[in-house]
Structure 1
């Protein structure tokens, strides 16, 4: 059971005559972004101010640091709008690492105590991809450093696929792409093969000239996941779109992401045609070869879906807030 926390603060009700003031916050493992907007009578939103801060995933940085990062982003957005002393009506905090209900409840309680808004909702960062897309049947796919997908069926049930982390999964992610590039590089160096463009570029990026130097670097790094994922942009760069090794890695990533989507679609019995698939994350940028290959892969598998690239993760949150009512209970299928 996944229940977004809704705790009312002690703030007096604000004047809604000119529209409802809302906060849309996206907080992940790298950064936190906040947008202050006004929702008019026509349920359209107008952005008044934006702000940003550091990572806010409570599982990665801890609860206190998460609250601090979120509050800082809100403070920056309200100050930019010149409304730092005016209470907001509603706030949706879409935060990575909050699928576990106790973490979500604790975070929401702390944010409510900070009186950031009259009503505070904390939801996992996946939820806005399917709730704010305007379609009752939808799938949201995030492929950044890691990979994970969420689906919503016609009954309003939700299911999550992937998100297993680098040890067990993260297929099709920046980490998986970087790992593939690193494996090709180490294999090439150890076999004495002529170095390809990809191998040379990986060596330059790591400041290494041999497999031994790369292995020493790997053994000494404090954040192996980030180091490996940092190599993904090399594979995805425009200059390497025709490189055979990069093409093979890209196709593998797209196939893995398509498999996550297909598994979720079959599990939730969602028709493969007519659904909406929202794409988010650095690997799935509009000009990424993975994005283009994923579209082909899905078509080959019989999907006739609308693919929407989400360039700003805050926008689906604003679309959620523009709805008359936010979902009070979110049923996550086991």
Structure 2
């Protein structure tokens, strides 16, 4: 008996084939599968390419897959959800259990090993999800980079660029951020940032990339950078606390999984978050990618719970890169 996990996003999709002990048989990566950003035809091509790679080397194991879980971004807002579910089911023999779920659930499970809790995903954008014991998904934030709070790569980078220009105009004292940002974009003065940021399809990702410079400057005690990091941590903590207050009140312990590129600087962020969050919150940085959460859910769909030895073997297998 084999299990298949799928983690689908706007830029890439991962699939992982695992046996009934939790050993990773194969893992492959392919193109996008978010139905908000690509068509069903494009998603089908991505899946066919990935499944084809699995079949090429593991035909027998692929034919014995009993449960599939696909955590795909964008499905909660997509009119194509039912069509996507049918598309996935068509790729496997009749009798194979195929589940299409919110990618927040699989991101959470990669850190909680199948237990309910909260996950904050902070990359270019930022969103917080809560997943209850009955797998009901609630959310806070995630309304797009122009409307969201500052607890994201874009929000942090935007604030940093504002400080760079405020320092250039003389409103605040010089900041180390200017030196780091100019070096990043290989320019010599802040006005040269204008064509770098405006009038390009890459402006959002370029602004978000400045997040790295903010954390670098904060480690050197640059006042403006430290203030930006504190503001971001405060916004993330508010989002998490909001979901706890409204959906998980009264629990002695709450698992909170933190994922996304912003948490590469967890050494700075975690102490700030822990200070602002309610007592009993356990912050978790997943040791495995979200596709592991998909595998765990594919197992739980059939068996109800996931045994500790399966989960341990699964994490160990991914850590080895089998």
Q: What is the CA–CA distance in structure 1 between the aligned matches of 2:223 and 2:34, rounded to whole Å?
A: 37
Aligned to 1:126: 104
Is the 2:36–2:78 contact (alpha carbons within 8 Å) kept by the matching residues of 1? no
Is the 1:58–1:65 contact (alpha carbons within 8 Å) kept by the matching residues of 2? no
Aligned to 1:115: 92
1:131 deviation in Å? 5.6
Aligned to 1:142: 121
Aligned to 2:242: 263
1:51 maps to 2:32: no
Deviates more, 1:187-196 or 1:87-96: 187-196
1:30 maps to 2:11: yes
Aligned to 1:282: 261
Equivalent runs, 1:57-68 vs 2, <5 Å? 57-68=34-45
Aligned to 2:286: 310
Q: What is the CA–CA distance in structure 2 between the aligned matches of 1:116 and 1:212, rounded to whole Å?
A: 60
CA displacement 1:255-284 (0-9 Å, x = unmatched): 101110111112214236311111211112
1:111 deviation in Å? 2.4
Q: What is the CA–CA distance in structure 2 between the aligned matches of 1:252 and 1:223, rounded to whole Å?
A: 25
1:222 deviation in Å? 0.9
Deviates more, 1:47-56 or 1:284-293: 284-293
Is the 1:150–1:159 contact (alpha carbons within 8 Å) kept by the matching residues of 2? yes
Change in Cα spacing, 1:279 to 1:287, as seen in structure 2 (3 Å) is closer
Aligned to 2:157: 178
Q: Which runs of 5+ in 2 are unaligned?
A: 305-322
Q: What is the CA–CA distance in structure 2 between the aligned matches of 1:80 and 1:246, rounded to whole Å?
A: 50
Q: What is the CA–CA distance in structure 2 between the aligned matches of 1:191 and 1:272, rounded to whole Å?
A: 49
Is the 2:180–2:213 contact (alpha carbons within 8 Å) kept by the matching residues of 1? yes
TM score, norm. by length of structure 2: 0.82
Aligned to 1:244: 223
Q: CA RMSD in A?
A: 2.8
- 3-state SS of paired residue (2:80): helix
1:106 maps to 2:83: yes
Change in Cα spacing, 1:205 to 1:77, as seen in structure 2 (3 Å) is farther
Aligned to 2:189: 210
| Structure having the larger proportion of residues in strand | 1
1:155 deviation in Å? 5.5
Q: What is the CA–CA distance in structure 1 between the aligned matches of 2:134 and 2:97, rounded to whole Å?
A: 26
Task: Report 1 or 2 for greater relative contact order, CA contacts < 8 Å, sequence distance ≥ 6.
Answer: 2
Task: Give the paired residue count.
Answer: 301
Match of 2:69 among 74, 92, 95: 92
Change in Cα spacing, 1:135 to 1:108, as seen in structure 2 (3 Å) is closer
Change in Cα spacing, 1:207 to 1:112, as seen in structure 2 (3 Å) is same
Aligned to 2:53: 76
Q: What is the CA–CA distance in structure 1 between the aligned matches of 2:155 and 2:24, rounded to whole Å?
A: 36
Q: What is the CA–CA distance in structure 2 between the aligned matches of 1:145 and 1:270, rounded to whole Å?
A: 30
TM score, norm. by length of structure 1: 0.79
1:297 maps to 2:276: yes
Change in Cα spacing, 1:233 to 1:288, as seen in structure 2 (3 Å) is farther
